[in-house]
Amino acid sequence: MSHAIQVRPVQSKDLDALEALEKTTFESDRLSRRSFRRWISNDHRAFLVATQNEKLVGYILIILHRGTRLARLYSIAVDSNVRGQGLGATLIRAGEQAALDASRIDMRLEVRQDNSSAIRLYEQLGYHLFGQYHDYYEDHADAFRYQKRIRQFDPSHWQRQVPWYRQSTDFTCGPASLMMAMHGLRSDVLLDRSQELQIWREATTIFMTSGHGGCHPIGLALAAHKRGFQAEVWINNNGPLFIDGVRSEKKKHVMTLVHNDFVGQAEENNISILHQDITQAELSEALKSGGIPLVLISTSQLDGRRAPHWVVVTAVDDDFFYLHDPDPTDNTQADFDCQYIPIGRSDFDRMARFGRDRLRTAVVIRKA
């Protein structure tokens, strides 16, 4: 690529040149001057331009919606006079870095199915096809949807080999997570549906905010204990769990009975319950000393549903905790996208708590 080309953040003075480049690049679905102006002043985006001798010769606009791990490559254009020299790739790499700096994990984009040069470029840069939209563009052309995991797990960091298992019902994240952890410690543990449902029947709170009950941390610890594992429970409160999301007094009563029963069984089986927050340092230590922690998160950070959800902590480094999530946010997600999902340490504490009471709970499973 020519040395005279520079990439920098967009400025208001670029507006005329952006509009001109857009007109010469796209025949339809152009970004209007008004849209460009809006994106220039918007904070939730990465917007970079390339200049050559002060002339604008390319741009990339990446949208960074709040509350999601995704970044969306919304538009990219390179002046036809400088195409084929690597500028498109340079802009995409710089955009990926900007998205990474904003703690994004995956980049997605749509591209016209007949835009072979752009598709080739995306594929060269590691994007993979995961879906399509029919009749997506103004001229009714279809779009391919591409995705790339931009935050890569560095395997040189400490990690456990944990298999991934997809929960087969809405309410079995707890059993699915426990099965992954147990199988990670002892490969003879079966990863199948009957085990999944059996553990749910042992550990369920019966009711929860809506639908079927999920699993209680002490219930999961007891299920692990029954299968020959050691389990340690961390809960930062004393009372029955999850009842503030339930209105019916009858349901609250049932959930309280179940809670008290789990506490009693834990005592009988010498399962230790620590009534305190589990800190990031303690989670890391648990992993490094051979344990596999299950943590309860709120899915509001992932999909806005605000449901309690069990996941497995499978690795840790200076910046991230890595999770196996038994429930892909969308069905097109490849299995590997649900493994070692990086969650920034600064986001983790916000994610790993649930409800008004800010319940933070974890179950650390170890070989007995």
Question: Which residues of this protein are in contact with ligand COA, per CB under 6 A?
Answer: 1, 25, 76-78, 83-89, 111, 115, 117-118, 120-121
82 vs 294 by CB, closer to ligand COA:
82
Q: Distance (Å, rounded) from C-alpha 245 to C-alpha 231?
A: 27
4: left (phi over 0), alpha (psi -120 to 50) or beta: alpha
45 vs 227 by CB, closer to ligand COA:
45
Name the residue among 222, 221, 216 with its Cα closest to residue 233. 221
Contact 169, 187 (CB under 8 A): no
Query: What helix, strand, coil percent values describe the chain, rounded to 5?
Result: 35, 25, 35
Residue 230 phi, psi dihedral angles, 5° rounding: -95, 140
E-assigned strand segments in 191-319: 229-235, 272-274, 292-298, 308-316
Diameter over CA atoms, the chain: 77
Q: Distance (Å, rounded) from C-alpha 344 to C-alpha 320?
A: 5
Residue nearest to ligand COA as judged by C-beta position: 88
Q: Quick one: how far is CA 50 from the chain centroid?
A: 31
DSSP 32: P
Contact 268, 228 (CB under 8 A): no
119 vs 191 by CB, closer to ligand COA:
119
User: 293 CB contacts (<8 Å, ≥6 apart)?
Assistant: 181, 278, 283, 286, 287, 312, 313, 362, 363, 364, 365
77 vs 287 by CB, closer to ligand COA:
77
